[in-house]
Amino acid sequence: MSERRLWVLKPGTISYADGLALQAEIADARRSDSVPDVLLLLEHWPVYTKGRRTEASELGMGEDWYRMQGIEVCEADRGGGVTYHGPGQLVGYPIIDLAHYDSDVRAHVARIEQTMLAALRDHSVPAQVFEGLTGVWTAGEPPIPSGEPGPQKQAVGAAALPGGEARKIGSIGIHVSRGITTHGLAINVNNDLQPFEWIVPCGIEAVRMSSLAREHGAEQDLDAFAETIVGRFGEIYGLAPAPVGIDAIRAASRRPG
């Protein structure tokens, strides 16, 4: 395709299973070059998703207990450990052909981090990443036991605060199949943080979670934040965003090559 576009699809709040099916459908269309790169932005109904490195101890209450709380437990083919998704959290699934980016998976993850950091900064939340710890964190020192050597800090937006105060505000986990990416990022905006307390998020024992609402002390405009993510994603990936519906994607997939 000669024009480097980014189709942006916002299906609202959907189940995790529906999200997986939608990603698979779009990934097939992207692989056949029927559609350009696509960014899915959505919310999920309450669910714990287990990445490829999830250990049983990360779900210490037992899966049946979580289901009794009204939270699904689902397998995911992304990397990383267990995490939580729920209403009020913005989930982004970039379905990207890495051939346009030298097939560099590490660079793809770094671009996702840059997108999240820039969007959070735009919404007055200083954020950072730590070498050796997944995801995006608020200002402060990393959440490691006192006296142990910590990962190096890469701060964005403000100087770090002492005392292990950094909280995780965003998660990253991706999957790549035949050059096409699925899964991606999740940023806590207005969602309930309690479900994170019942697990070991991303396999990090000392982790504490935050959200834009917690950082600002008031509920935030999730739609406005989603638009910021779209703009920053397009800028960092060098793509021109355009909103589409699923019908447009399916019509393009049916179109003869």
Instruction: Report the catalytic residues.
Output: 202
Concatenate the DSSP letters of all residues of 71-86 into one string: -EEEE-SSSSSEEEE-
Three-state secondary structure call for residue 138 = strand
Tokens describing residue 172: 């990253």
In which residue are the tokens 């379905």 written? 95
Tokens describing residue 251: 């019509």
In which residue are the tokens 């960014």 written? 39
Residue 68 near residue 37 (C-beta atoms within 8 A): no
CA gap 72, 87 in Å, rounded: 13
CB-based burial label for 6 (10 Å; 0-12, 13-18, 19+): buried
Three-state secondary structure call for residue 120 = helix
In which residue are the tokens 């990936």 written? 237
